[in-house]
Structure 1
Amino acid sequence: MSNLQTLKFFVTPPHDCSYIKPAEAVTLFVDPQAEINRPTYTHLTQLGFRRSGTHIYRPHCEYCKACISARIPVEQFNLSKGQRRISNKNSDILVETIMPRLDEEIWQLYQSYISERHQDGDMYPPTKEQFDSFLVETNQETRFHLFRDSEGTLLAVAVTDQLEDGISAVYTFFSPYHDKRSLGVYAVLWQIEYLKTRREPYLYLGYWVKSCRKMTYKTGFKPLEILLDDNWVAATDDMIL
């Protein structure tokens, strides 16, 4: 089993940046042949790494530091009025937690989400092979949290990895036809409450990019901590607005 002292890291050639167009990015990733246990994965997450499929990576751009890791200290989290309204709107939702899988119901929801919300992204058009390699194939303790309304309709799926100090929110996809529910925000609120019941301290939200409009929702969760120069610090309004 690998640890940080024995891990090998590799650097990609420059490639198109997923967040800032038309910039190029460079990515540092962990040896995909290494066996990564939960403590090591937790430490990597604390250092700003993320997981996609079986690859664990971190931006490694020489002149750009726009991708900033963010996490919520759940015990200190303050629910805003708007978030309270969103929680109330979704009080009928029940959540089932399962092992990662791709069935027709989950696939249809994912396909609708990517096709309606992310036609400008590198995951469009969606394919089942892409879904498998991104979300089902995993070398970590991954779970799918299925959000259903009172009639049993699948509205959202939140994909998380278990860490030593909380969970990493890998990805969330949801129905693009229920905007009034604000399902993306509600999925985060549910994960915060989930962690509180387990007495685990952090929800890792992945990267926040100030210039990326689709990531502005992350700054609505307060307090928010961000990773600057390998140190987690409280995000102030001057930093994030």
Structure 2
Amino acid sequence: MSNLRTLVFFATPPHECSYLHDREATTMFVDPRAQVDKRLYSQLTALGFRRSGSHYYRPHCEHCSACVPVRLNVDRFTPDRSQRRVLAKNADLACTLVPAAFTERYYQLYARYIEQRHADGDMYPPSREQFTSFLVEGATDTWFLEITSADKLIGLAVIDGLDDGLSAIYTMFDPSEEDRSLGTFAVLWQIREAQQRGLPYLYLGYWIRDCRKMTYKTRFRPIEALRDGQWQILAPVSGAPEGPPGPDQGAS
């Protein structure tokens, strides 16, 4: 089994940044031949890496440090008024954790979400192969959170279990249910789940100050950011609007 001392890393050539279109990005990947277990994955996550399918990556841009890993200390979190409204609005929903797997039901929800919410992104057009390689392959302790209304699947959140917390990998929802703020609801559910499991952190991927798709993350307080190798409280960001989680893939 691999460990931090034996890992080999590769860097991609510079490519167009998926979030800041006037910049180039470079991504560092763990050697895909490495055997990454839950313990090593947890260590990599604490160092700012993310998982996309079987790949573990983090930003490695020479002239840019805009992508900042963030996590929430769940025991210090108290929902604000807006988040309490989201919880109340969705009190009728049923939430069930199931092992990560491909089903046509999940894929149809994913396809509608990508086509209607992210048609301008790297993941358009959606495909079954893409769904599987992104959300199912490489899973070590990975779960899908089914969010249903009257037995209709309206949301799906992909969650990884870590030694010190949960990692919010991706959230998708039925675009016709936009008024429910299901992205925010899924994060709130994961916060409660981490608390119930006695885990201190919920990892939320990367935050970019100038990327509107990521501003929702700063509404969960106190949010911690990894800077210069140290996790520290991120100062409140003024004017950060609420919004649903978008894909971390491509954030580098």
AA of the residue aligned to 2:76: Q
1:104, distance to aligned residue in structure 2 (A):
1.8
Question: In structure 2, what is the equivalent of residue 126 of structure 1?
Answer: 126
Identify the range of structure 1 (173-182 vs 185-194) with the bigger mean alpha-carbon deviation.
173-182
Alpha carbons of 1:186 and 1:138: their partners in 2 closer, same or farther (altered >3 Å)?
same
Task: For 1:105-184, list aligned pairs within 5 A.
Answer: 105-149=105-149, 151-184=150-183
Q: Give the whole-Å Cα distance in 1 for the aligned partners of 2:26 and 2:76.
A: 34
Q: Give the whole-Å Cα distance in 2 for the aligned partners of 1:223 and 1:139.
A: 29
Q: Secondary structure at the match of 2:171?
A: strand
1:22, distance to aligned residue in structure 2 (A):
3.4
1:107, distance to aligned residue in structure 2 (A):
1.0
Q: Secondary structure at the match of 1:178?
A: helix
Identity %: 51
| 2:114/2:125 contact within 8 Å kept | yes
Question: In structure 1, what is the equivalent of residue 223 of structure 2?
Answer: 224
Question: In structure 2, what is the equivalent of residue 188 of structure 1?
Answer: 187
Q: Give the whole-Å Cα distance in 1 for the aligned partners of 2:237 and 2:89.
A: 31
Count of matched residue pairs: 240
Alpha carbons of 1:19 and 1:185: their partners in 2 closer, same or farther (altered >3 Å)?
same
| 2:96/2:145 contact within 8 Å kept | yes
| 1:210/1:240 contact within 8 Å kept | no
1:69, distance to aligned residue in structure 2 (A):
0.5
Structure 2: 5+ residue stretches without partners: 241-252
Q: Give the whole-Å Cα distance in 2 for the aligned partners of 1:240 and 1:210.
A: 11
Q: Secondary structure at the match of 2:151?
A: coil
Q: Give the whole-Å Cα distance in 2 for the aligned partners of 1:79 and 1:159.
A: 22
The two structures have a TM-score, normalised by structure 2, of 0.92
| 2:146/2:153 contact within 8 Å kept | yes
Alpha carbons of 1:186 and 1:122: their partners in 2 closer, same or farther (altered >3 Å)?
same
AA of the residue aligned to 1:102: F
Q: Give the whole-Å Cα distance in 1 for the aligned partners of 2:47 and 2:37.
A: 15
User: RMSD in angstroms over aligned alpha carbons?
Assistant: 1.3
Q: Secondary structure at the match of 2:176?
A: coil
Question: In structure 2, what is the equivalent of residue 71 of structure 1?
Answer: 71
CA deviation profile, 1:132-157 (whole Å, cap 9, x unmatched)? 110011142111111111x1111111
Q: Secondary structure at the match of 1:164?
A: coil
Structure 1: 5+ residue stretches without partners: none
Task: For 1:63-102, list aligned pairs within 5 A.
Answer: 63-102=63-102
1:100, distance to aligned residue in structure 2 (A):
1.5
| 2:218/2:237 contact within 8 Å kept | no
| 2:165/2:194 contact within 8 Å kept | yes
1:240, distance to aligned residue in structure 2 (A):
9.1
Question: In structure 1, what is the equivalent of residue 32 of structure 2?
Answer: 32
CA deviation profile, 1:70-129 (whole Å, cap 9, x unmatched)? 111000001100000000000111111111122121111101110111011000010111
| 2:155/2:174 contact within 8 Å kept | yes
Question: In structure 2, what is the equivalent of residue 234 of structure 1?
Answer: 233
The two structures have a TM-score, normalised by structure 1, of 0.97
AA of the residue aligned to 2:50: R
Q: Give the whole-Å Cα distance in 2 for the aligned partners of 1:36 and 1:123.
A: 25
Q: Give the whole-Å Cα distance in 2 for the aligned partners of 1:126 and 1:41.
A: 27
1:21, distance to aligned residue in structure 2 (A):
0.4
